Amino acid sequence: MRKIINLVLGCGLLLLLMTACTKDEIKYDTSVVRDYALQLNGSPWNLNVGISTLPIFIYKENGDYFGNYSSLYRFALNNGKYTFMASDIPAQMVTSPVNLKDLVVPQLVSADQKVNLSAATSYNSPFADTLKMNILTRTGTLRLKAKDIVADPSYSIIKTTVFVKRTGYKAVDESFIQGDMSVFRSKKTTTGGVNYLDDFIVFQTDDEANNVRVKIEFMDANSVVVKTKELADTFPILANGVTNVDFNLNDPDTPIIKDYVVTINGVVQTK
């Protein structure tokens, strides 16, 4: 009986030692990501308490998707090398858990979605430094606004097409995919174009070669085109900015609209 008791006590002691060793290994092999310093276009940004949004994306050293985390809580990761990225609109930016090298945010044909992503930043255990990520808006807004005070009853639908030179954004290296693409929208008008206003969210252009071009088709109630006009110049789009173009839709005999005022972020541009 004494041998059996000693055997049981010995096994119990061995189990305690194994458990202690396992805890030590876990403690040794993991590190806690403790501090966050997130910004949105250079200004401090914090997720509101109680919001279930998960703004932080983590990728393995080889780019494979690892996980999606809240910035409200601390969390632990196995020691190693990772890449972190953040967005205030994560559900719209990362729609599937693909390798970071394959993550491309497309230019939407609907032109109604901002692209907000930080740079992909290496972050290695033991995560002693503060996690700093600046979420940047990679798109801007083209705002088209009619100045007309006289209606044109010949049309009831305005279809606007914006021709862009960038079709996607590559998160891994903050680059853009170049390519010709058109985004468009049709709007009904009961005022013959008076008070027409429309916003198109497209990628920043960065240089003149990427400027956007605008075509407007005027259609009747059956979507039959009655006339077409184009704006004479192309327009720059600034990141997180607004390029406002004020012009007349209904000036007669003007297939090419040359008379307009361009305002970028509140500053009137001179031709």
Under 8 Å between Cβ of 83 and 144: no
Core vs surface per residue 189-206: b (16+ CB within 10 A) or e: beebbbebebebbbbbbe
- Residue 6: inside a domain: no
**Binning pLDDT at 50, 70 and 90, where does residue 15 land?**
very low
User: Which residue among 137, 169, 195 closes a domain?
Assistant: 137
When divided into structural domains, the chain yields a total of 2
Instruction: Enter the tokens of residue 79.
Output: 């020691």
Distance, in Å, from the CA atom of 147 to the CA atom of 245, rounded to the nearest integer, reads: 10
Question: What average pLDDT does the chain have?
Answer: 88
Give the distance between the most distant pair of CA atoms in the chain: 111
pLDDT more than 70, % of the chain: 88
User: Which residue among 137, 168, 195 closes a domain?
Assistant: 137
* Residue listed under structure tokens 């497309």: 106
- pLDDT tens across 227-246, in order? 999 999 999 999 999 999 99
Q: pTM, whole model, 2 decimals? A: 0.85
> Do 246 and 188 share a structural domain?
yes
CA dihedral 90→92→96→98, nearest 10 degrees, is -70
User: Which residue among 81, 107, 137 closes a domain?
Assistant: 137
- Residue 105: inside a domain: yes
Distance, in Å, from the CA atom of 132 to the CA atom of 34, rounded to the nearest integer, reads: 12
**Binning pLDDT at 50, 70 and 90, where does residue 28 land?**
low
- Residue 19: inside a domain: no
> Do 104 and 56 share a structural domain?
yes
- pLDDT tens across 90-103, in order? 999 999 999 999 99
**Domain around 176:** 140-268
